[in-house]
Amino acid sequence: MRKFLLYGLLSILLFSWLDGSCAGKFKVGSISFPNAQVVPADPAPDGDFQTLVVPIKRAGNLIVVEAQIDSLEGNFVMDTGAPYLVLNATYFRDAPHVQEQESAGINGESAGSFTTVVHNFSILDLHYSRLTADVTDLSAIENGRGIKILGLLGTRLFAKFAITIDLSNNLLYINKLDNKGNIPTCERVFKNPDLKMQFKYMSDIIFLKGAVDDKSMWFVFDSGAETNLLDYNRVKKSIKSMQIINRSKLTGVGGSTFQVLYARFDKLTLGNKDFLCNRVLVANLEKMGKAYDHNIDGILGYDFFSRGVFTINFVKNEFEMYIYNNQ
């Protein structure tokens, strides 16, 4: 059921200091659609390949690939924090309306969103004859990164595949799977992962179980998030042990204000792997949890997944990571 849509961390800019001398920009926010209707399932995609290799562009910490809708070709953000295809209203405001939507998120309300259906969507040799999509304002991404963005590629587009992202070589691999749900051995580009674990796949969103300084937590894995986030209410007792780099008061699109902390903490644990020297934004994630329909303790974004190559097998609900040597 298309009960909601949360667009990862892409809707407003956060201004925080990476260190004592320079400023950086992070996007934090969400948009949810509580009144979306049930729509027919989209047909399975097709393509004459076993492994599709797609070049990646970089826009700040965003992962961008080229795709095409009919004759319109352009940039789409790889966003595992979005459940499905999202289109930018700047370019698709005249698309057929399936249903009007009233959207809301932690950064306020956003009017003018709706559901549509598109045909002939392609990522190189991967073709979708029909896709249901949401159309909303993504201008904050374009303005923040100075790049034309047609939309976001959510998890449902890859539900029958495994995807691997290698940021050091700017490549996305899309793998077809065998009848056991595995990448065929002859098609595997990376072997012997440093981290391999199961994830929960709920409402088309990836949840990884981990720990912060040995305190158990559930994280959303969001390739569209430009930094990590932790929920203030889950870590407030531990904040005194973190190194606070900056405090910021932010204003959302609805005019509401909220405070975030930018901090460092010692140890993030996933599976049997410890990740040291972690950077994170600490904020109240209660409204994000409501949009996801699940309580969340944190979000793992670029500061986490840039440490290595990662593979997501959507059929077996497996997450793998191959840590770069300098990590």
Q: Which residues are bridge partners to 299 per DSSP?
A: 220, 229
Mean pLDDT is lowest, of 47-61, 89-103, 212-226, 246-260, for 246-260
How far is 222 from 82, CA to CA, in rounded Å?
A: 8
pLDDT, position 41: 81
CA nearest to 209, candidates 302, 296, 293: 296
Q: Among the CATH numbers 2.40.70.10, 2.60.40.10, 1.20.59.10, 3.40.470.10, which is that of 198-323? A: 2.40.70.10
Mean pLDDT of 50-71: 96
**The pair of three-digit structure tokens given for residue 247, joined into one six-digit string:** 């405090």
Q: Does 217 have pLDDT greater than 70?
A: yes
Res. 8 pLDDT band, cuts 50 70 90? very low
Question: Mean pLDDT across the chain, nearest whole number?
Answer: 84
Mean pLDDT is lowest, of 42-51, 169-178, 288-297, for 288-297
Mean pLDDT is lowest, of 188-202, 205-219, 274-288, 303-317, for 274-288
pLDDT, position 189: 95
pTM of the model: 0.85
CB 312 within 8 A of CB 162: yes
pLDDT, position 13: 32
Q: Does 280 have pLDDT greater than 90?
A: yes
The CATH code of domain 13-37+49-180 reads 2.40.70.10
CB 217 within 8 A of CB 304: no
pLDDT of 106-125, one tens digit each?
444 455 789 999 999 999 99
Span(s) in the chain for CATH 2.40.70.10: 13-37+49-180, 198-323
